Amino acid sequence: MATESKTVLILGGGVGGLVTANELRKGLPKQHRIIVVDRAVKHLFYPSLLWLMTGLRQAEKISRDLAVLERKGIEVVQGEISALNPATRSIVVNEQALTADYLVISLGTELDPGSVPGLSEAGYNLYDLEGTENLRRALKNFREGKLAVVVASTPYKCPAAPYEAALLLEYDCRKRKIRNEVELDLYAAEPGPMGVAGPKLSAAVRRLVEKKGIDYHPDHHLSQVDQEARILHFSNGHKANYDLLAYVPPHRVPRVVAESGLALEGGWVSVNRYTLETRHPSTYAIGDITGIPLAMGKPLPKAGVFAHAQAEVVAHNIAREITGKGEIKHFSGHGECFIELGDRRAGFARGDFYGEPTPQVKMFTPGPHWHAAKLLFEKDWLRRWF
Ligand SMILES: Cc1cc2nc3c(=O)[nH]c(=O)nc-3n(C[C@H](O)[C@H](O)[C@H](O)COP(=O)(O)OP(=O)(O)OC[C@H]3O[C@@H](n4cnc5c(N)ncnc54)[C@H](O)[C@@H]3O)c2cc1C
């Protein structure tokens, strides 16, 4: 068993980084250093942004200071990572170099609304705190007209989120008794909802959306927004008017990861699909920055549930290598998600995304119990890791 002190450097204090740090601290004696680096001061529980959008949450209730982790013996460095060398397991943050024995990269995706002309000026970003807070304010004054939810391009994280957003906005309009005055459209760059989970589940989600009178327009890849005339332009030649626009922006691999040379194929980071190790020994990548091809030909969806499970595997295997205790674990490709429907109801899907030839994912009958389970999950997340 190794007794010398080892350092594990974790890049990102989002879902993957937070879970890795906590699990490692549980598995490693105190002599080993665990360092988390993030530009953000606070960890935000992203699933609750959709409740914040309609006034059901406040930002301070769904975020926690990362510095709290220091109490557990996890070092937290706040700053922008400006350079990354996966081969030497070193980074530059706040103009200082840090090098480690193990590197875990969980830097998520970079949101890139600026890559669609007119988009950021015209609407509200559903995927960041500022955008959803501004959308909530705009909704208060919105009493009639065309409300458009747009998924600009693929891939994007949390394949359920835009569908949930449209359903929660529909519910909000009903609660405010303006539903008859509002036309709701959902334009998506993909051919159907949550396609990787299979045609049956995709059709079921589509039905849930359309049953609420939301007009669904698949295969609409956003190319431009004319803010003055309030017109959406799609690459299939279609155009559509809107009065209020909520969007999921294009996603790309974070700049510092792209510059490190790690993200070669398809723009995302290739890893061993079971251990999450990159081609550089002792350097791991987990969560949204990874590109893991599935047998069906599409990549594993980007979702917190996978970042979480991958973090547990990587933390366990690093602790095992350092302490010599336990057996190697493998990421199984299993995942699950809630789908908020409004009316305090939700659906739930769970399955094996590594299933061959196609993922095996089952959707359970929606009801109030899944919504209650999601409330519990939120509570547990914010308590358990901080
Ligand atoms: C509205 C919404 C709802 C969602 N709902 C769900 C859900 O219900 N279920 C689910 O499974 N998933 C959900 N997700 C997706 C989930 O949040 C992500 O998949 C998950 O956060 C990915 O974890 P990660 O660790 O890969 O990246 P993140 O959690 O995004 O963490 C990346 C971290 O890296 C930091 N960072 C990046 N670059 C740098 C840099 N250069 N220097 C310093 N720090 C940097 C960022 O500040 C960030 O904190 C949702 C997402 C959104 C937006």
Report the predicted TM-score, pTM, of the whole model to 2 decimal places.
0.97
- pLDDT single digits (tens) 243-256: 999 999 999 999 99
Q: Using the atom order of ligand 1, give the atom closest to the CA of residue 305.
A: 11
Q: How far is the CA of 36 from the centre of ligand 1 (A)?
A: 15
Spatial CA neighbour of 222 closest among 192, 244, 200, 249: 249
Determine whether domain 113-250 maps to CATH 3.40.50.150: no
What pLDDT, on a 0 to 100 scale, did the predictor assign at position 3? 64
pLDDT at position 2 over 80 = no
Pocket of ligand 1 (CB under 6 A): 12-17, 37-40, 46-47, 49-50, 80-81, 106-108, 127, 157-158, 161, 254, 256, 287-288, 302-305, 307, 337-338
What pLDDT, on a 0 to 100 scale, did the predictor assign at position 143? 97
Q: What is the mean pLDDT of residues 3-20?
A: 96
Mutate which of 39, 256, 305, 353 to test ligand 1's pocket (most atoms within 8 Å of Cβ)?
A: 39
Instruction: Please name the residue whose Cα sits nearest to atom 3 of ligand 1.
Output: 47
Determine whether domain 7-109+253-323 maps to CATH 3.50.50.60: yes
pLDDT tier for residue 53 given thresholds of 50, 70 and 90: very high
Residues with Cβ < 8 Å from 22, sequence gap 6 or more? 69, 72, 74, 315, 385
pLDDT at position 326 over 70 = yes
Q: How far is the CA of 180 from the centre of ligand 1 (A)?
A: 36
Spatial CA neighbour of 329 closest among 275, 292, 276: 275
- pLDDT single digits (tens) 122-134: 999 999 999 999 9
Share of the chain above pLDDT 90, in %: 98
Mutate which of 107, 331, 337 to test ligand 1's pocket (most atoms within 8 Å of Cβ)?
A: 107
CA distance 87 to 282: 9
pLDDT at position 285 over 70 = yes
Mean pLDDT of the chain: 97
pLDDT tier for residue 264 given thresholds of 50, 70 and 90: confident
Residue 144 has a CB neighbour count (10 Å cut-off) of: 12
- What are the residue ranges spanned by the domains of the chain? 7-109+253-323, 113-250
Domains 7-109+253-323 and 113-250 share a fold: yes
